[in-house]
Structure 1
């Protein structure tokens, strides 16, 4: 059964009682994964921001250095 994290209520929901799509993150395989949704989102955001900084420092060149 898929689980969802509701960002408005901070509650884990199941398919049977899921809120509108705009207010939930998921699906997740377990209740525990859904409960950690915000932490996972924060980690992803930090990783993507670092990748953007790295990209900018390279001058938006491919990793091999070719333009």
Structure 2
């Protein structure tokens, strides 16, 4: 059984009672993982933002965009 986190209600849902809209995150293997969905998403977003910043800094080669 999969678990889902409903961001509108703040409740964990199962496959049997899952909302069918964009307001759910998942699936998760456990109820505890689903309950921590927002925290997990926040941490992943911070990690991806950091990786994007690192990529952009390395990719410029010290020159500004549009320099020919």
**Structure 1 gaps, min length 5:** 62-67
Alignment of 1:1-67 (within 5 A): 1-59=1-59
SS of the aligned residue for 2:27 comes to strand
Bigger share in helix: 1
TM-score, normalised to structure 2's length? 0.84
Q: Distance in 2 between matches of 1:47 and 1:12?
A: 25
**Structure 2 gaps, min length 5:** 62-68
4+ runs deviating over 2 angstroms:
none
Following TM superposition, by how much is the alpha carbon of 1:59 offset from its aligned partner in structure 2, in angstroms? Answer: 1.9
SS of the aligned residue for 2:9 comes to coil
TM-score, normalised to structure 1's length? 0.85
